Each structure stands twice: as structure tokens, then as C-alpha cells.
Structure 1
Amino acid sequence: MDLKTKVGTGVIAAAIGLVAAWEGRSLVAYVDPVGIPTICDGYTHSVKLGDVATPAQCDVLTEQEVRKALAVVDGSTPGQLPDGVRIALTSFVYNVGPGAYGGSTLLRRLRAGDLIGACNQLPRWVYASGKKLRGLERRREAERQICLSSLR
């Protein structure tokens, strides 16, 4: 395994850990705070109430979605971002989706080379359906700290 592959694997593992820590795992589908049927670690695609998953299925879905989110992050800027920024923004994209990320001031700052400014945009993303959620406040602060950690 070459160095780039090892680094990429480490970023994915760290992002999976961060996502899992904040999403929480449910093996039975439930309705999330904005009314979306959700299962496993925040997985929402084609989920219906009554769906059930095994831990192994959840592991596969979470890794698949983290890889997609990382690809969005990595494809959004011309250069390689520091690992802490990649990990934090992968968790963020996993949570808010690529569309919200794609139109964000956070991404505009990232593309302008203002990595600190981009990281400091994360705490603005604490609302779900117009309601400020304490869990999102805590998650965004953790993501911000990780994002900034590789810039110090």
C-alpha cells in the first residue's frame, strides 16, 4: 500500500469515527428531527419506517456514504486540503448533503484559500427546519476544532 492510499484510508477511518460519534446508530428506521426516515448512522436514501438493518449493513452504508462525502470535499477545491480539514468537512457534507455544501459561504472561503475562515463557518450550520439544535451546535464545534487542528 503506497503512502497516498494509507493517508486516504486514515482519513476515511477518522471521518467514519467522527460521523458515527455524532449520528448515533439505530438498527430500526426512525424519523429524524426534520422529518426524514433514517436508519443506521444517519442514512436516509430510500429509507422507510419499519426498515431494519444489521450492524454489518450499517457499517457498509456508513463507509459508502463517508467515501461519497469525502469525494465531494476532495473534488470541491483544486488542491489537496490538510487531513483535519478533509475529515471535518467530510462529516459536515455527510450531515448536510452536497447541495447545501456546494452553495455555501464555507465552500467559497475554502476555494478562496481562506481555510481558517472556512472552518469558522461550521458553527453557522446548527439549524434544522429553522430550529437551533444543541446536538448540531456541539457537532459543529467538534468539526471546527478538527478542521482548525491541521492549520495550527
Structure 2
Amino acid sequence: MTRRIDAAGLSHIMQWEGKRLTSYRDVAGIWTVGFGHTDAAGPPKVFAGMKITEEQAAEILRSDLAKFEERVSRLVKVPLTDNQFSVLVSFDFNTGSLHKSTLLKRLNAGQYDAVPGELMKWVNAGGKRVQGLVNRRAAEAGLWAKGEFVSSNTVPAAPIASPLLTKENVSWGAGILSTLGFSSVGPGPLQWALAAVLVGAFAIGAFFFIKSRVNPS
């Protein structure tokens, strides 16, 4: 089943392709229109002086991406986050070379952390290093690492665990102690006794929570 990129992935591609409603030649000299549409992607055929509307540009892009969404869905054999899937669609849409890349081979071998470096090898156009492509590959590498899987060629991919302590958790705990320990009773020994009980209960709960995260089995 073919997977589709999410809204964030679509926005990423739109940003880096740029929207041009009048045809132009790209850095490789190829006639382009809309969000990076060329004849190689299929109809409509791009020609000098061609003009399209914003709605047509979006429709053409979605149509163009379908081919690359299918290719990534078929070629990649390991699990991907939405961001990682979007990166590969963006990369393949831009280069058309995912199928023959070392990037794909290393990724399918479980080497997720090799992908950013492999992306940075694809920064030339017309035989020259292009700063725009350097920037695009860097942005793709950053999106790849956002919420990435922790894995290697010997460790199965698994989502990164959320932080044990967050600002929200600390605020929540402090709020409970403040409300129950200091607001429900007047000042005095009883106040501090109740606070001590709450702190102890919170510490015990935190201990078992952390233990379950470190050693989930």
C-alpha cells in the first residue's frame, strides 16, 4: 500500500522547490514550472512562456509526488517516521535516484544514522556544487533526525522514548505538593507531615517509573 506524505512533508517540499507560476530553466537548464515540475515527472509538458495558476501548481505537485511516494513505499524495507518518509520523498523527487543510491542500501541495512551523511553527497547539479542543494540537503537531514528511530544494523528500530522529566511533569508534581500539602491545612507540624508523605509517595512512583523506562522487561 502506498503511503502519502503528511502536511509537514508537503510544506517542506513546497518550501525548497519554490513556487514559480511562469516557466523557467532550473540550475541544470531544464524547463520547470510550479513546484519544481519538469517534463520528466509527466504531464503537463513545460515550455518557454508557460503560465499556470496557484491551484494548478498545487495540483501538479500532488500528482508529481504520487510517483515518488510509491517508490519510497516500495523501495524502503525498514520502518520510517512520517518525517523520514517525507525526507525520502523530497530527496527522490529532487534527484530521481533513490533506487540506485548508497543511501537506500545503507538504510535498508538498518543504518538510519548514515542517511544524513549520504544526503550531503547529493549537492551537485550540472557538474557543480550548488549552495541551494547544500542547504536543502541540510534541511532534509534535520527533518530526518526530528523524532527519529534509534537503531543500527544490529539493533531493531524503535521510537525514541520521551524524556523522563519534562517541564510539565515538574510543574504537575509541584502543583500537587503545593495544593495538597500547603493549601488544604494550616501551617504547623501537620502541614509538614502531610508534605513529607506526598514527597515520599511521589519519589516512590518516580523510582518505579524510571525503572520501567530503563529496564522495560
TM-score by length of structure 1 reads 0.87
Instruction: Please tell me whether the aligned partners of residues 65 and 89 of structure 2 are also in contact (alpha carbons under 8 angstroms).
Output: yes
Bigger RCO (CA 8 Å, 6+ sep): 1
Aligned amino acid, residue 87 of structure 1: S
Shift of 1:150: 2.6
Shift of 1:108: 0.6
Q: Choose which of 30, 34, 37 in structure 1 pairs with 2:31.
A: 37
Shift of 1:118: 2.1
Say whether 1:27 aligns with 2:26: no
Instruction: Please tell me whether the aligned partners of residues 28 and 53 of structure 1 are also in contact (alpha carbons under 8 angstroms).
Output: yes
SS of alignment partner, residue 38 of structure 2: coil
Q: Choose which of 91, 107, 110 in structure 2 pairs with 1:113.
A: 110
Shift of 1:71: 1.7
Say whether 1:70 aligns with 2:69: yes
1:126-145 map, 5 Å: 126-145=123-142
TM-score by length of structure 2 reads 0.62
2:188 match = none
| Residue-pair matches, total | 144
Shift of 1:149: 1.6
Instruction: Please tell me whether the aligned partners of residues 68 and 93 of structure 2 are also in contact (alpha carbons under 8 angstroms).
Output: yes
Q: For 2:65 and 2:108, how far apart are their aligned partners in 1?
A: 21
Unaligned runs of 5+ in 2: 40-44, 149-159, 161-217
Q: Choose which of 135, 143, 147 in structure 2 pairs with 1:146.
A: 143
Shift of 1:89: 1.0
Q: State the Cα RMSD in Å.
A: 1.9
Q: For 1:86 and 1:70, how far apart are their aligned partners in 2?
A: 8
SS of alignment partner, residue 21 of structure 2: strand
SS of alignment partner, residue 29 of structure 1: strand
Unaligned runs of 5+ in 1: 1-7
Instruction: Please tell me whether the aligned partners of residues 15 and 66 of structure 1 are also in contact (alpha carbons under 8 angstroms).
Output: no
Aligned amino acid, residue 145 of structure 2: L
Aligned amino acid, residue 22 of structure 2: V
Matched residues, percent identical? 32
Instruction: Please tell me whether the aligned partners of residues 85 and 119 of structure 1 are also in contact (alpha carbons under 8 angstroms).
Output: no
Shift of 1:44: 0.2
Instruction: Please tell me whether the aligned partners of residues 72 and 89 of structure 2 are also in contact (alpha carbons under 8 angstroms).
Output: yes
What do the CA deviations read for 1:25-72 (whole angstroms, capped 9, x no partner)? 111111111010000010002211121111110010111222322221
Structure 1 ranges of 4+ moved more than 4 A: none
What do the CA deviations read for 1:62-110 (whole angstroms, capped 9, x no partner)? 112223222211111234312121011111111111xx21111101111
Q: For 2:145 and 2:126, how far apart are their aligned partners in 1?
A: 28
Q: For 1:47 and 1:12, how far apart are their aligned partners in 2?
A: 27
